[in-house]
Structures are given as C-alpha cells and as structure tokens.
Amino acid sequence: MRRELSLVAGLTAGMIGLIASQSATSVLFIGNSFTFAAGSPVQFYRADTVTDLNNEGIGGVPALFKSFTQQAGLAYDVFLETRGGSGLDFHLANKRDAISSRAWDVVVMHGYSTLDSAKPRDPAKLISTSKEMADVLRARNPKVLLYLMATWSRADQVYPPTGAWTKEPIEAMARDVRAAYDKAAAGASAKAVIPVGEAWTRAMQTGVADPNPYDGIDAGKLDLWTYDHYHGSVYGYYLEALTIFGTLTGRDPRSLGDGECSAYELGLSRPQAKALQQVAFDQLAAVGTVKAAPMALEKPANAARCARP
C-alpha cells in the first residue's frame, strides 16, 4: 500500500510539474555579448535557472529577466542562444537548427552593436537578417511574439578619435541604432522595439549615470559601461533587463521594489536599484508600454528571501 501511495504521489507531482511547464510562456533570447552580459558578474549569474542552447553555462540578462518574473509571480521558461561579436547573420548561418528546434512563444533578439561590424552605421544587414530570422521563427509558430532590442551607445565609439560616432553627442549612437531597429521591426513585423539604448540615454540625461567614463565618474553617478567602455557593467545590464521585463510583461519595473533579489545578490544598493527601476519605468511609460502601478511593499533583501524556488 505504501509503495502504491508513493507511486501515485510521484506521478501526481510529475503531472503537476508537466502542467506547470506546459503553461509557462517560452522566451528565447538571440544575441551576443550584450545579451550574455560580457565583462560583468551577470554573465554566469543564476545559469541554472535558464537553458543555454549552446551549453556554455551562460545566465546573463536572460537569467536576470527570469529572476524578475519569478519575483513577480509570472511563469516563464527562459532560453538563450548567444555568440560574442556576432549579428543575426551568424545565428542564421550556424544556429538555425537550435533556433528552430521549438515553437517559441516569445523571442527577443538583436544584431551587432554598430549595426554592421564591417560597415558601422549601415542598417541594411540588420534589416535583412531580422526579416529572415522572423521567417524562420514563424515557420515553427506563426503567432510568435517577436521583439527587437535596440542597444546602447558605446562610449568607445563616441569619445576616441577612431570611433564610428566620434565628435557626436553620446545619445546620437543610441538614436541612430533605434532608427535602424524601427526599420528592421517594420520589415520583420515585430511586435515592438525594446528601448534599451534609450533607457541608457535617459539614465545619463537624468543624472543617474555618468555619460563619459573617459574623464572619470562623477560622485553619486553610475558607470553603465564596464572597463572597456563598450560592454555593460552590472548597472548597465540590470537596466537592460528591467527594460526587457517591463516590455514583455507590461509590469511597472518599480513594482519589483528596491529590495529586489537580483540587485541584492549582485551588490547594488537599494538607492541604485530604485534609481534604475525608475529610469526603466520612465522610458517605458513615455512610449505607453507600461502604466504606473503601486510600488512594492518594503521587503528586506536577504538570502532567505532570494532563495531559488
């Protein structure tokens, strides 16, 4: 009898797990080092909570997104397929089988940071490869929700004399990148462009972040870039993940609260987490993606609260 009861209990638990898995929304991230969070502790953060299709042990921004959704009580199965220094053309040429292995519910993707590694500022490759990738994804699921992520201004492309945006304001690169992604999104019939680059610009313009890491970081301001002034810092990737979270879920990023678990685990202070959540909200609210929601109740960030489910 005990053996039969144990068997029934095991089968019941398995069925519950299967139902929960089937009801969760699947999200695939396709990108490069801007997705896997090169140059920061985020790269391998909570890698066990997401599925890396390349089996490289990456957590990255997808794991941050997963953490946010868990804390918000939302069910998402998160996957990623990333390769450093690449655009969508690489993934189409080398990872098509992995990308088309499943009928994804949602896909977030982006190309190379200068639009084209061989022809900086030229949007043609991004536009054509976004359309081709969309066709691959819709062949498996015609109803897939496709988001393109417009990336940030690279300080190393603005301030040094050899940069593709030299002598232009720091916001110019993000503005040009966004314009290219708007064209790519139209051609690919994407649901929306995620304004990560504009969120970074807003952080600088509102005094949350320093706009020029080459002349030092002003007291009380954050450096969104890591040591190479190219990739993101923990702060930059945190803001990226918040902007993605708000776009995909429609939730006010501030609802996570300044005691949010990932901020605690990655070493952000409460004021830093609160400031970046506010920036993400302001950017998304400005374009009507999210509406203001009540702030989260004060909850102490600690190891017990942030334990994995």
d(CA 28, CA 8): 34
DSSP 296: P
Q: Quick check: 245 and 263 in contact, CB under 8 A?
A: no
The answer to whether the beta carbons of residues 61 and 237 sit under 8 Å apart is yes
**Pairing, β 192-194 against β 51-52:** unpaired
Q: Give the chain's domains with CATH numbers.
A: 25-286 (3.40.50.1110)
pTM: 0.91
Q: What is the pLDDT of residue 293?
A: 83
Instruction: Render pLDDT for 35-60 as a digit per residue (tens, 0 to 9).
Output: 999 999 999 999 999 999 999 999 99
Q: 83-137 pLDDT, tens per residue? A: 999 999 999 999 999 999 999 999 999 999 999 999 999 999 999 999 999 999 9
Q: b/e map of 216-253 (b: 16 or more CB within 10 Å)?
A: eeeeebbbbbbeebbbbbbbbbbbbbbbbbbbbbebbb
Q: Which single residue is written with the structure tokens 């603005």? A: 158
Q: Is residue 170 within 8 Å of residue 211, measured between CB atoms?
A: yes
Q: Which pLDDT tens digit goes with each residue over 169-209? A: 999 999 999 999 999 999 999 999 999 999 999 999 999 99
Compute, in degrees rounded to 10, the torsion defined by CA atoms 278, 212, 155, 47: -40
Angle at the Cα of 188 (from 182 to 194), degrees rounded to 5? 45
